[in-house]
Structure 1
Amino acid sequence: MKLRVYRAVLAAILVGVPSWWAYNALTHQTDEALRAQRPVWAACPEMPTVECATIRVPLDHEAPEEHPIDLALARLPARHPDERIGSLVVNYGGPGIAGVAMLIRDPELFDELRSRYDIVAFDPRGVGRSTPLNCRPKGEPLPSLTVDQTPDTPKEQAALVKAVTAYADACRRQAGWLVPHLTTDATARDLDILRSVLGDRELTYFGYSYGGGLGVAYAQLFPDKVGRMVLDAPSVTAGGGPVEFDPKDLSDEGINAFVEDCVKRRGCPLGDDLDLGLQNLNDFVQVRDGLPLDVSGGELTDALATEGVIELLYTTDDWPRLRRALADGLKGDGQALYDAAMEFEAGDGLSMDANIAINCNDTSTRFELDDIARQVETAREKAPISGAWQAWNSMACTGWDIVVGNTWLADLPRYLSPVMIVGTEGDPVVPYAAVRSLATSLSESVLVTLRGKSHTAYRSGDRCVNEAVEAYLLDGKVPADEVKCPAGTRKS
């Protein structure tokens, strides 16, 4: 991905001064008051054992004094204050997941780490309680869901372009003042203000998925402020984001892993042979293009069937549910897959409006209709089941203004504090090869590898991963070599 280049920062780059230094020099005086804030913590109404607060951050980090916005926080204080190390700031991914709601819903996720850390979650800008972006009336579906998401005819393709363009226009009408400032770059800068507000000299951080990428962005902007940092299944694409794709890089790896597991089980609805199982699943999905299944709330199309499958791939704990949903679907009942697809669109505490805005603002790439139409067949060859859906998804930024607000550079800094990167070999969402590549790029990093099939690994039930992460964060123990966690080390 590309760094949002401000004029002052560009000048600094041209004379050889690091961009993060130029930014700090530019705003050192003007953001002093924001960094001097102290949160007023009070019991969260939904969960009194969790504390909530709100601080202010700049809408525009180039002009921090002009228009501050809210940043909502939630905190679980350290259980042993006399042994407290500091604050552990967590981000659950997305982009666009509301951290406050996630911490309230699952306060035990970081229970071991809470022994010596305050666990601090936040709603990133544009999300949840942090000046949320709302492009649609509540409950109204994304416009792309009202048209064919894998269009085969010029008429269907024109309808998709019209829908996504209308959505971009709606976001500008509703919150044109906010949209350009929803970027990974801006959120990383918010993190540094949060670090100051919490009174920590360095940022101690845990990021899942996109949150891992956010951690990389922070490290690039503030390398001297990086403390202990864990990036679990970090979603980082140097030079691009989810809307920048090369069809040659697509695969159905996660789907293949599920089908391989399914056909070994008695009663698998896809059969008892891998090739046959993949073909049966592909046939079921593709036929929905012309023969959608009627369900409560709409129709199960090929695109929604694909989304339903992908939603239930994230963790192997959901695979039994996926087997049941496919069994129902093959009998003509698509409700379970449709419901899973709606979960995919709604997200787990996810703001889809913010998700799209951040992804689109973080890239300058805008695909034309003809570009995608030409690449769909290659995408299908590489990923027969999900390829077309992935290809047409890259039209999501049609109609969006180009902001380019990310900081994920190809040349990563090589002078960071040791960073722990966690990857799962069979991750259905973030390719393990990309995680390993990031670990190689960050010379001071250590890689923890889990031989598993879930997206993210910490507290997924694996003792080996948990112990490595906790020894690093709690005791500062940095493994000398890569930690390889075999399958079968799960806690009971």
Structure 2
Amino acid sequence: MTHRKTVVRGAAVAAATSLLLAGAGTAGATAPAATDRPVWSPCPPPTAAQGGGDAPGVGWECATLAVPLDYAHPQGRRIGLALIRHAATGPGKRIGSLIYNFGGPGGSGVATLPGFGSTFSTLNTRYDLVSFDPRGVGGSAPVSCFTGPQTDAYNQVDSTPDTPAEAEQFMDVTQAFAAACEKKSGALLPHLTTTNVARDLDRIRAAVGDAKLNYYGFSYGTELGGTYAHLFPQKVGRAVLDGVMNPDENYTDGALYQLKGFQLALDNFAKACVAGSYVCPIHRSTPAQVEQLLTDVVAHLDQHPARTADGRMLNDSLALSAMAHTLYSASSGWPALARAVSSYANWEDPTALMALADSATGRDDKGHYDNGNNIFSATSCADYGVPQTTDDIRQQLPAYRKASPLFGEQFAWALNQCTYWPVKGATDHMEVSAKGAPPILVIGNAGDPATPYGGAEVMARRLGKGVGVLVSWKGGQGHCSYGKGSACIDGKADDYLLNGKVPAYGTNCP
């Protein structure tokens, strides 16, 4: 996650967009009109709200499915959901569609799925690969708030305020952001709950012609999958939840719980740097010294923001977002963080850190932002949001600082995102009990920063006996597990999805 002043985009597969692979492109393609049944046609390039880029190329088709804005009034206003698919390639008998959600809330499945085409090629032999932009995201009635220049200015406000004046400014800009969202997208905001996205998911299942939902949810997609299983247990087919959100955590406790995951990942990054597990130009004698260097960089930027070649300013808030963003991927993110910090360690070149910050916040090189920040606030606040005053946050700061000296303050102050939001939280925590559903694979990664491993254990229990099947990657690093280098994890998931073979509860992958 990291788009607002939250360090992470609540459990998005935040690094996903940086992994997109450009396709051959499809000249002249336009977004399909919304219909009750998908009418598939060549995909246009992703919009700015989806993150931009090239059209996905040969084999990918797009459609727009009409669904009710308000399920309490299903004959009322309708909105269009952007869909994408790649038909099953064979050999082998087609099973149906495998529908993906890549996290967030705020990730564009339409923009993300093509970048993982090779990762899911085995599954694509017998499934149509399908994804979508959830309501409010990208090409699906996107929530609009600040303009690009306004977001640039927003990101210059200190998200770890040191003085009463800075705290007031931070609260004021958060209030202005909420007001802009309400002004531009107020009619959408009450209907952007995960429960409604789950109802949309059931419409997509029916629209692609499947009697049961075959599903792969990463990160926030595990919350969506658990919600779907609770609402429609008899309609669940084969489902995998990977990088699992803890269903028992509420708004404030959940942020602290997640913060501890990021500190664990930071510790692992520093230990690997010292051990020489990757090329680490900020190598020091101890992990504590590596972490202290990052802390020193952030402290320096707090007092002396650095100007980039294009005139923009890298401050401590953006640097923290960049650092957290890289912890999602041990293979690519850790080396990128070490290089970026090294290039700035003598208070010289902020270019690399700013590029990582742009990736974290969804900004392209033209100053356009995707709308992930907007929908992250919209869904988080509508689901569980609890208003937090300045005094509330200050009372919680010691616990957050203790949990992570580097990230703690930014995580704590980010609790203000729902303080001025026009829609109040519908519940305290997610409900995922799914009595009557078939076995659902729940994959936990011991080194996951954004969705700490304990969430998988809780989710497997809460789904119910005989439903939640826990599989653990004890040696994992980075966010989520599939396609991250574990032949054991990939094999268990593939065998389950392709052949219906359910692994033993508590299976451990090295």
What TM-score, normalized by structure 2, do the two folds share?
0.83
Q: Are the equivalent residues in 2 in contact too, given 1:98–1:350 (CA < 8 A)?
A: no
Is 1:216 matched up with 2:239?
no
Letter of the aligned partner of 2:388 in structure 1? F
Is 1:447 matched up with 2:473?
no
What is the total number of aligned residue pairs between the two structures?
A: 451
Give the whole-Å Cα distance in 2 for the aligned partners of 1:422 and 1:467: 12
Secondary structure, aligned partner of 2:121: coil
Letter of the aligned partner of 1:263 in structure 2? V
- The within-5 A match list for 1:267-278 is 268-278=281-291
5+ long unaligned stretches in structure 2: 1-34, 45-54, 365-369
The alpha-carbon deviation at position 282 of structure 1 amounts to 2.1
- The within-5 A match list for 1:7-406 is 37-45=36-44, 46=55, 47-80=57-90, 83-138=93-148, 140-141=150-151, 144-241=154-251, 245-246=255-256, 250=260, 252-265=263-276, 268-296=281-309, 297-317=311-331, 318-332=333-347, 333-346=349-362, 351-405=372-426
Q: Are the equivalent residues in 1 in contact too, given 2:258–2:452 (CA < 8 A)?
A: no
Q: Greater CA deviation, 261-270 or 456-465? A: 261-270
Alpha-carbon RMSD across the aligned residues, in angstroms, is 2.3
Match of 2:485 in 1: 461
Secondary structure, aligned partner of 1:362: helix
Give the whole-Å Cα distance in 1 for the aligned partners of 2:428 and 2:451: 19
Give the whole-Å Cα distance in 2 for the aligned partners of 1:59 and 1:395: 27
Q: Greater CA deviation, 467-476 or 415-424? A: 415-424
The alpha-carbon deviation at position 182 of structure 1 amounts to 1.3
The alpha-carbon deviation at position 270 of structure 1 amounts to 4.7
Q: Are the equivalent residues in 2 in contact too, given 1:72–1:100 (CA < 8 A)?
A: yes
Using a 3 Å threshold, how does the CA distance of structure 1 residues 395 and 142 change in structure 2: closer, same or farther?
Answer: farther
Secondary structure, aligned partner of 1:121: strand
Q: Are the equivalent residues in 1 in contact too, given 2:36–2:67 (CA < 8 A)?
A: no
Q: Are the equivalent residues in 1 in contact too, given 2:447–2:477 (CA < 8 A)?
A: yes
Using a 3 Å threshold, how does the CA distance of structure 1 residues 267 and 195 change in structure 2: closer, same or farther?
Answer: closer
Give the whole-Å Cα distance in 2 for the aligned partners of 1:248 and 1:308: 17
Give the whole-Å Cα distance in 1 for the aligned partners of 2:315 and 2:257: 22
When Rg is computed on C-alpha atoms for both structures, the one with the higher figure is: 1
Q: Are the equivalent residues in 2 in contact too, given 1:243–1:397 (CA < 8 A)?
A: no
The alpha-carbon deviation at position 286 of structure 1 amounts to 2.6
Give the whole-Å Cα distance in 2 for the aligned partners of 1:243 and 1:362: 15
Letter of the aligned partner of 1:453 in structure 2? Q
Give the whole-Å Cα distance in 2 for the aligned partners of 1:276 and 1:394: 29
What TM-score, normalized by structure 1, do the two folds share?
0.86
Give the whole-Å Cα distance in 2 for the aligned partners of 1:146 and 1:281: 19
Letter of the aligned partner of 1:363 in structure 2? Y
Using a 3 Å threshold, how does the CA distance of structure 1 residues 139 and 91 change in structure 2: closer, same or farther?
Answer: farther
5+ long unaligned stretches in structure 1: 1-35, 487-492
From 426, 436, 441, give the equivalent of 1:420. 441
Match of 1:8 in 2: none
Q: Greater CA deviation, 399-408 or 211-220? A: 399-408
Match of 2:458 in 1: 437
The alpha-carbon deviation at position 272 of structure 1 amounts to 1.8
The alpha-carbon deviation at position 264 of structure 1 amounts to 1.8
Give the whole-Å Cα distance in 2 for the aligned partners of 1:142 and 1:184: 29
Give the whole-Å Cα distance in 2 for the aligned partners of 1:199 and 1:407: 35
Q: Are the equivalent residues in 1 in contact too, given 2:270–2:288 (CA < 8 A)?
A: no
Using a 3 Å threshold, how does the CA distance of structure 1 residues 371 and 295 change in structure 2: closer, same or farther?
Answer: same
